[in-house]
């Protein structure tokens, strides 16, 4: 069963569309070197932190690196995203799937988890960013697949045509900004210039993730400080952040941070930026995040 991270009731698959022509890029986007590996490997590895099943939809005979994922091919090549979504959903092992493309290099797992959480009662959950729907960063129920097949038959190759026919949950900018203030999630690469820009952004991002830890309650009293800054390597997870905090404040180990330094002990919780609560320690810390360490019993 392709499950999401622990604690979630929602089952979902991740689908990566890789079969585009890459005509403006001039070479296969999926194979562009990125952070020392092919771009698609980077994207798949990111998604695997959240999804137990990842399906890659490729063009027939497309050259792809070996990855621990299921690869399916478009039955008819280059039918655009509607085809890719349709074939991906058909192959998905769960009732719904988050769909993205292989050149979405700055995926934000908190935002993705939020989108998946919105699915009950809807067929499609789609962000709306800067006046545009983002169908290649959206969650689709498998049950919409026949509608996509109809669109293909009628030559309607734009995913937005689907949105009028389903129970749509539109996620607007304000809601998106709570997780991804800059909208980096929707950055994708079509030209060599876009690629160069992405590499540049990534090199800045990967050097270090600066974040702040705010301590409340017993954690503050033990640490004798309300605030602590952390510099973490790019891609650092919350587990990494807890370990770094333990290095700086050993007094918290055993009382607030577990002895293995990977998580908080029972009775404590971590909130990000005063908004979302951390549900899995393997999620990635974003630059500028404020990690709020508080009692898990916030009421009473």
Partner 1 sequence: MHGLFGRVLHVDLTSGQSAYRDVEESRLRKYLGGIGLGTTLLYQYAPTGVDPLSPANPLIFASAPLVGTRVTTTAKFAVLTKSPLTGLIADSLSSSHFALELKRLGIDGLVLTGQAPSLAYLFIHDENVEMRPAGHLRGKTPDETQTIIRSEPGCATVWVASIGAAGENRVRFATISNEGRHAGRGGVGAVMGAKNLKAIAVSGDRATPVAYPEELESIADSLRRRSVSSVTDKYRGLGTVANLAVFNRLGTLPTRNFQQTTFEHADALSGETLTETTFSRRHGCAACTIRCERLFKSQAGEEQRLEYETLFALGPLCGISDPDCVLQAARLCDDYGLDAISTGGTLSWAIETVEKGLLPEARALGLRFGNAEGVLTAIHAIAGRHGIGALLAEGSRRAAVETGGESSYWAMHVKGLELPGYDPRSLKTMALGLAVSPRGACHNRSGAYEADFSGEVDRLRGDSRRGGIVAASEDFAAVLDSLIVCKFLRKCFADFYTEAAEILARVTGWEYSGAELRRAGERIHTLKKLFNIREGWRPDTDWLPERLLSETLPTGVARGVGLSRDELKEMIRGYYQAREWDEDGFVPERKLEQLGIARC
Is 217 a binding residue for partner 1 by CB under 8 A? The answer is yes
Phi, psi for 183 (deg, rounded to 5) = 70, 25
Task: Output 189 or 270, the one with its CB closest to partner 1.
Answer: 270
Site for partner 1 in 97-116 (CB under 8 A): 114
Task: Output 26 or 181, the one with its CB closest to partner 1.
Answer: 181
| Backbone dihedral region for residue 165 (phi beyond 0: left; psi -120 to 50: alpha; all else: beta) | alpha
Is 252 a binding residue for partner 1 by CB under 8 A? The answer is no
Is 10 a binding residue for partner 1 by CB under 8 A? The answer is no
Task: Output 76 or 296, the one with its CB closest to partner 1.
Answer: 296
- Cα radius of gyration rounded to whole Å, the chain: 20
CB 84 within 8 A of CB 121: no
Among 201, 220, 248, 262, binds partner 1 (CB under 8 A): 220
Is 73 a binding residue for partner 1 by CB under 8 A? The answer is no
Is 95 a binding residue for partner 1 by CB under 8 A? The answer is no
Strand partners, 34: 37
Considering only 19-27, 51-59, 76-84, 217-225, which stretch makes contact with partner 1 by CB under 8 A? 217-225
Distance CA 197, CA 42 (A): 17
Is 212 a binding residue for partner 1 by CB under 8 A? The answer is no
- Which CA distances in Å does 80 have to 17, 84, 131, 142, 221? 10, 7, 21, 18, 57
Judge residue 35's burial from the number of C-beta atoms within 10 Å of its C-beta, 0-12 exposed, 13-18 middle, 19 or more buried: middle
Kindly state the number of chain residues that form the binding site for partner 1, as judged by CB under 8 A.
Answer: 38
Among 191, 206, 277, 288, binds partner 1 (CB under 8 A): 277
Nearest to 31 by CA among 58, 69, 60: 58
Binding site for partner 1 (CB under 8 A): 7, 114, 117-118, 120-121, 174-175, 178, 214, 216-218, 220-221, 226, 255, 265-269, 271, 273-279, 292, 294-300
């Amino acid at each position: 069963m392709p499950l999401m991270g622990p604690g979630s009731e929602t089952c979902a698959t991740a689908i990566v569309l890789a079969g585009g022509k890459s005509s403006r890029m001039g070479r296969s986007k999926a194979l562009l070197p990125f952070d020392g590996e092919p771009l698609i490997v980077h994207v798949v590895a990111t998604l695997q932190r959240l999804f137990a099943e990842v399906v890659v939809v490729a063009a027939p005979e497309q050259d792809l690196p070996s990855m621990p994922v299921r690869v399916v091919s478009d039955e008819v090549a280059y039918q655009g995203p509607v085809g890719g979504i349709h074939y991906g959903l058909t192959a998905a092992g769960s009732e719904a799937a988050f769909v993205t493309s292989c050149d979405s290099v700055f995926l934000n797992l908190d935002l993705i988890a939020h989108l998946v959480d919105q699915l009950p009662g809807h067929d499609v959950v789609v962000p709306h960013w800067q006046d545009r729907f983002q169908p290649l960063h959206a969650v689709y129920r498998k049950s919409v697949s026949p509608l996509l097949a109809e669109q293909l038959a009628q030559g309607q190759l734009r995913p937005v045509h689907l949105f009028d026919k389903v129970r749509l949950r539109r996620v607007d900018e304000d809601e998106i900004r709570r997780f991804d203030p800059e909208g980096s999630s929707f950055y994708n690469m079509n030209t060599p210039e876009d690629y160069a820009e992405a590499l540049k952004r990534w090199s800045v991002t990967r050097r270090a993730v600066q974040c702040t830890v705010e301590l409340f309650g017993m954690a503050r009293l033990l640490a004798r400080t309300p605030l602590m800054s952390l510099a973490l390597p790019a891609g650092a997870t919350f587990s990494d952040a807890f370990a770094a905090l333990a290095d700086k404040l050993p007094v918290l180990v055993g009382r607030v941070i577990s002895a293995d330094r990977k998580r908080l002990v029972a009775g404590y919780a971590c909130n990000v930026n005063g908004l979302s609560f951390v549900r899995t320690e393997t999620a990635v810390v974003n630059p500028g995040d404020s990690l709020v360490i508080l009692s898990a019993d916030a009421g009473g």
